[in-house]
Amino acid sequence: MKLALLLALALQSPPSGTPPAAGDARRILLELSPVPAPPPDPTNAVYANPAAALLGQALFYDARLSADGTVSCATCHQPGKSWTDAKPIGFGLASVSRHTMTLWNVAYNRWFFWDGRKDTLWSQALGPLEDAREHGTSRLAILHLLAEDADYARAYRQIFGALPELAQLPHEGRPVAGEPEHPQQLAWDTLDVETQEAVTRAFVNVGKAIAAFERLLVSRDAPFDRYVSALRSDDAAGSAAYDARARRGAELFVGKARCVFCHDGPSFTDLEFHDNRVPVGELGGDPGRKLGVKRLKLDPLNSRSVYADDGGETGKRKITQLVVDSHGGKSFKTPTLRNIARTAPYMHEGQFATLEDVVHFYDTLENATPEIGSERLIQPLGLSAEERAELLAFLESLTDESLPPELLAPPPAASLGR
Ligand code: HEC
Ligand code: HEC
């Protein structure tokens, strides 16, 4: 969104002020829909390769990619729960420390996780696989599985070429930062550097296939999208078909309630990080983006690494200029609001059980953390009961879970690599 427009909006609608003129609201609403095609990913040569997406889909649903055969990506990102798990905090082999994020429209993101510690979708996918609390497996175990499963082996070969020679290699092993005596690290240390590099490259390919699948998880046909389409073509009957409360809620969203300052664009996120002053959760002490930036810069699998298919070009630009937030607050990634009515509970620790609670929070700032630094966007709104209901009706109108049903389950094994 144009900064000048945002400023004009801010001046027109201080928290207690008047909503923006209809013309401004209309202009901003037109920027929130339609959802374009996901952007290309120059770091992933197979981002739009259908065979890779099919392999990725199979891997996404396969619990054999875990230490005890019980955890797949879909354990926490369940298709029937809008790609979440409905729990405050995710649980795989053990409890993790944050709320499971939805995968809707995930391919539009620039940074991943609540703290942005990953900067590509493929590199993100590699995190949970080797996290002891999630899948708890290792890159060597995964490659052995790929080699031993005829369907996987065929698909992998067709897409990426030969797997590394595995016969002489241990069945487990991965780098474990800071734990030289960890059994996984000791097993990893038995490989020479060249073999480690080849194994990591094949592991990265697993992430790239999963990313190609995740790119298909796009929500773009919600009642709100049909409304904006009608608005764009001055179709009065089409506009009138949109719930009147939701329409007023949309105007609040881009006006008096100021949500669009951060929840901007067709995914309803500016793709960046903010301190929205949400009360600290029970786990507490989450440093958010501050630590995320440090971890991203040190990550051997980040977008400026040799594993990026553009030779690290995009990553060099993206990461080198990155600075830790200067305002001192704890910031988290602005989440998408698409299908938000289906992904309770909310916030990075699942602090709020319902959307009503979220709207109540932004309205009153009850139990908010103190305002730190210069981000003054979060101020009590003082909405009426009717306005709160309108905002909720608008959020509910962002619901569209339609996807080809064949994406909601593993593909037939025989279809892989054909
Ligand atoms: C134990 C539950 C669990 C499992 C298993 C799991 N995830 Fe997640 N996922 C989460 C949680 C929790 C977060 C947020 C974590 C954080 O921010 O630190 C997350 C975040 C993500 C994100 C970031 C979304 C965004 O907008 O930034 C993606 C993408 C994702 N997971 C994909 C996957 C894939 C692919 C797999 C399988 C390889 C997987 N997840 C396995 C719980 C899980
Ligand atoms: C200053 C930027 C900013 C503004 C303004 C803002 N949000 Fe948010 N929103 C965020 C961030 C950042 C998060 C995630 C915070 C966290 O979990 O720590 C969030 C989280 C949410 C969530 C939970 C999403 C999820 O998946 O858990 C909802 C719903 C939401 N906001 C709706 C709104 C509404 C409605 C408004 C206007 C009344 C609004 N936001 C205004 C930045 C903002």
pLDDT of residue 328: 64
Query: How far is residue 414's CA from residue 155's CA, in Å, rounded to a whole number?
Result: 10
Regarding whether 119 and 19 lie in a shared domain, the answer is no
Q: How far is CA 150 from the centre of its chain?
A: 32
Average pLDDT estimate for 7-28: 58
Determine the Cα–Cα distance for residues 144 and 335; give it in Å rounded to an integer: 36
- What single-letter amino acid sits at 94? A
Of 102, 173, 108, 111, residue with least CA distance to 337: 102
252 and 369 together in one domain = yes
Q: Does residue 16 carry a pLDDT above 80?
A: no
DSSP for 382-398, please give it. Answer: ---HHHHHHHHHHHHTT
Please give the pLDDT value at position 372. Answer: 78
Does the beta carbon of 142 sit less than 6 angstroms from any atom of ligand 1? no
The pLDDT tens digits for 280-313 are 988 988 999 999 999 999 999 999 999 999 999 9
Q: Are residues 28 and 101 in the same domain?
A: no
Contact 32, 399 (CB under 8 A): no
Same domain, yes or no: 375 and 389? yes
CA pair distance 117, 361, nearest whole angstrom: 27
58 lies in the same domain as 33: no
Count of C-beta atoms within a 10 Å radius of residue 95: 11
- How high is the pLDDT of residue 7? 44
Instruction: Indicate the top mutation candidate among 259, 372, 392, 394 to test ligand 2's pocket, ranked by most ligand atoms within 8 A of CB.
Output: 259
**Same domain for 251 and 261?**
yes
- The per-residue pLDDT for 188 is 98
Please tell me if the CB atom of residue 71 comes closer than 6 angstroms to any atom of ligand 1: yes
Q: At what angle do helices 385-396 and 355-364 cross, to 10 degrees?
A: 130
The stretch 240-260 carries a mean pLDDT of 97
**Residues 44-98 pLDDT 10s:** 999 999 999 999 999 999 999 999 999 999 999 999 999 999 999 999 999 999 9
Question: How far is residue 146's CA from residue 65's CA, in Å, rounded to a whole number?
Answer: 10
Type of residue at 343? T
What pLDDT was estimated at residue 9? 47
Asked whether residue 413 is assigned to any structural domain, the reply reads: no
Q: What is the pLDDT of residue 220?
A: 98
**Which residue segment(s) compose the domain that 120 sits in?**
50-218
Q: Tens digit of pLDDT for each residue in 95-149?
A: 999 999 999 999 999 999 999 999 999 999 999 999 999 999 999 999 999 999 9
Do 162 and 57 lie in one domain? The reply is yes
Q: Which ligand is nearest to the CA of 97?
A: 1
Q: Which ligand is nearest to the CA of 123?
A: 1
Q: Say which residues have a Cβ less than 8 Å from residue 223's Cβ, sequence separation at least 6.
A: 242, 243, 246, 397, 399, 400
- CA pair distance 20, 287, nearest whole angstrom: 36
Does the pLDDT at position 253 exceed 50? yes
In a domain, residue 45? The reply is no
pLDDT, residue 373, reads 67
Residue 323 lies in a domain: yes
Among 158, 192, 218, where does a domain finish?
A: 218
Q: Determine the residue of 248, 258, 263 to mutate for testing ligand 2's pocket, defined as the one with the most ligand atoms within 8 A of the Cβ atom.
A: 263
Mean pLDDT of the chain, nearest integer: 93
CB contact at 8 A, 33 and 224: yes
Same domain? For 126 and 258 the reply is no
Assess whether 63 and 207 both reside in one domain: yes
Tell me the longest C-alpha to C-alpha distance in the chain.
71
> Predicted confidence band at 401 (pLDDT cuts at 50, 70, 90)?
very high
Write the CATH number for 356.
1.10.760.10
Higher pLDDT, 267 or 20: 267
Q: Is residue 416 part of a domain?
A: no
For the four alpha carbons of 28, 33, 38 and 40, in that order, the dihedral sign comes to negative
Q: Is there an atom of ligand 2 within 6 Å of 260 CB?
A: no
**Given the CA of residue 127, which atom of ligand 1 is nearest to it?**
38
Instruction: Check whether residue 30 and residue 63 sit in a common domain.
Output: no
Ligand 2 atom with minimal separation from the 359 CA: 35
Which numbered atom of ligand 2 lies nearest the CA of 288?
Answer: 18
- Which residues pair with residue 91 across a beta bridge? 95
Q: Which ligand is nearest to the CA of 15?
A: 2
273 forms beta bridges with: 333
The tens digit of pLDDT for each residue in 221-242 reads 999 999 999 999 999 999 999 9
Read off φ and ψ for residue 411, nearest 5 degrees.
Answer: -75, 160
**Would the CB of 362 count as within 6 Å of ligand 2?**
yes
Q: Alpha carbon 6 to chain centroid distance?
A: 25
- 276 and 160 housed in the same domain: no
**Dihedral sign from CA coordinates of 85, 87, 88, 92:** negative
In a domain, 156, yes or no: yes
Q: Is the CB of 377 under 6 A from ligand 2?
A: yes
**Which ligand sits closest to the CA of 215?**
1
Q: Would residue 207 count as lying in a domain? A: yes
Phi and psi at 291, nearest 5°, equal -75, -35
Verify that 63 and 177 share a domain, yes or no.
Answer: yes
Q: How confident is the model at residue 326 (pLDDT cuts 50, 70, 90)?
A: low
At residue 367, the 3 state secondary structure works out as coil
Please give the torsion angle defined by the CA atoms of residues 282, 284, 288 and 291, in that order, rounded to the nearest 10 degrees.
-140
The predicted structure's pLDDT at residue 371: 83
User: 309: which 2 tokens?
Assistant: 């298919």
pLDDT confidence of 400, banded at 50, 70, 90?
A: very high
In-domain check, residue 404: no
The three state secondary structure string of 26-65 is: HHHHHCCCCCCCCCCCCCCCCCCCHHHHHHHHHHHCCCCC
C-alpha 212: how far from its chain's center?
14
Last residue of a domain, one of 169, 197, 218: 218
CA distance 64 to 142: 9
Q: How many distinct structural domains can be found in the chain?
A: 2
In a domain, 406, yes or no: no
